Amino acid sequence: MAKEWVKDLFIEHAELFQVFLEERFAKAEEEVRGLAHLFAAHGVEPGATVLDLNCGIGRHSIHLAKVGYRVVGVDLSPRYVARAVELASEHGVQDRTEFLVLDAREVGRGLSERRFDAVINMFTSFGYYDEATDEAILRQCLGLANPGGLFVLETSFRDWVVRHFQPSGVARVRDLLVIEERKLNLENSRMENVWTFFERRGNKYAFKAEFSLNLRMYCLHELIELFARAGWRYRTAYGNWELKEPAIDASRLIFVAQNAGQERV
């Protein structure tokens, strides 16, 4: 189910979604300003080591490196990791970034000798699998976090999705058109979406590919419980990068947990 769509979209047809990641590269700079503000509020200063879990093309990793953090980005897509390395060199931060092809489900084993002051997971790249797997990923990340280290999750907020649900949508980026058909399964809080990609050829669009996505949507109390089961301690949550408290009309949720082995002061 989830495993197959993740592989299909991010490995077999990675070039399609890459167009959207490239389009959002500049936006990541603004998001990282907020992320750096969040880090400072929780004692993670420039120079700290950060793990960017499911980093894509390294949008946030590169901008974090620009403001002084040392970042390791991991992603299961070889294409995205290669592009992240290329972009890091273009932006002059190759000495403060490292990018590895690594499935999030194997992150503990793949980075067993590393330790980080913070782990980030951005742009709704969590909930791809079942809850047991999500918990296992979080538990592995806990083992990679220094005492007092943070986990920052930025994702779609289930409460907002329910309140503003739209059964379909259309997006155009460059020569790509994507038609999205959405279904929110209320029995298990999973989005069961179909994305159909078309490519512009002259005055017409030609079919490229279709993907059936299956993504777990979490509300705040569910994340608190999930992270607690994995050994993290909930610290706080925000509704935007200005660090305002979450609200049902906030489309994004920024969730902050901590490795409670030792408090930061």
- CATH label of the domain that carries residue 82: 3.40.50.150
Residue 66 belongs to domain spanning = 2-156+218-258
Confidence of residue 190 (pLDDT cuts 50, 70, 90): very high
My answer on whether 53 and 116 are in the same domain is yes
My answer on whether 148 and 170 are in the same domain is no
pLDDT of 262 reads 55
My answer on whether 143 and 223 are in the same domain is yes
My answer on whether 14 and 70 are in the same domain is yes
Number of separate domains in the chain: 2
Residue 11 lies in a domain: yes
Residue 264 lies in a domain: no
Nearest of 250, 3, 244, 30 to residue 106 by alpha carbon: 3
My answer on whether 116 and 127 are in the same domain is yes
Tokens representing 232 are: 């993290």
Predicted model pTM: 0.96
pLDDT of 264 reads 43
The per-residue pLDDT for range 116-156, each reduced to its tens digit, is 999 999 999 999 999 999 999 999 999 999 999 999 999 99
Phi/psi at 51 (nearest 5 deg)? -100, 120
SS3 category, 226? helix
